[in-house]
Amino acid sequence: MGIPGPAVRLGILVPSSNSNAETLTAAILAGQPDLGVHYSRFRLPPNLDDTVDLSVLGDAPALLNDAELQAIAFHGTSGSWTGITQDRSLCDELKAVCGAPATTASVAVVEALGALSATRIGLVFPGPGSIASQIQREYANYGIDVQVVSVPEAAMSNPEIAQLDTAAIGAMMRPAFAHGLDAVVCVGTNLRSGYLVEGFEQEFAIPVVDSAIATLWHVLRLADSSRSIPGWGALLAVH
**Is residue 41 assigned to a domain?**
yes
139 and 200 in a single domain? The answer is yes
Q: Does 95 share its domain with 132?
A: no
DSSP bridge pairs for 150: 124
Residue 165 inside a domain? The answer is: yes
Q: What is the extent of the structural domain holding 43?
A: 8-107+213-237
Contacts of 118 (CB under 8 A, 6+ apart): 144, 182, 183, 207, 209
Question: Is residue 3 included in any domain, yes or no?
Answer: no
Residues 33 and 66 in one domain: yes
Give pTM, 2 decimals.
0.95
Same-domain pairing of 83 and 113: no
Question: Are 164 and 90 contained in the same domain?
Answer: no
181, part of any domain = yes
Q: What CATH number did the domain enclosing 188 receive?
A: 3.40.50.12500
The answer to the question of residue 233 being in a domain is yes
Q: Give yes or no: residues 85 and 19 share one domain.
A: yes
Kindly state whether residues 125 and 205 are assigned to the same domain: yes
Count CB-CB contacts under 10 A for residue 71: 24
User: Are both 218 and 102 inside the same structural domain?
Assistant: yes
**Quick check: is 182 in a domain?**
yes
196 and 78: one domain?
no
Quick check: is 219 in a domain? Answer: yes
**Does residue 2 fall inside a structural domain?**
no
Q: Are residues 102 and 217 in the same domain?
A: yes
Pairing of strands 71-74, 102-104: parallel
CA 170, CA 154: separation in Å to the nearest integer? 16
pLDDT, one tens digit for every residue, the chain (239 residues): 567 889 999 999 999 999 999 999 999 999 999 999 999 999 887 776 677 778 888 899 999 989 999 999 999 999 999 999 999 999 999 999 889 999 999 999 999 999 999 999 999 999 999 999 999 999 999 999 999 999 999 989 999 999 999 999 999 999 999 999 999 999 999 999 999 999 999 999 999 999 999 999 999 999 999 999 999 999 999 75
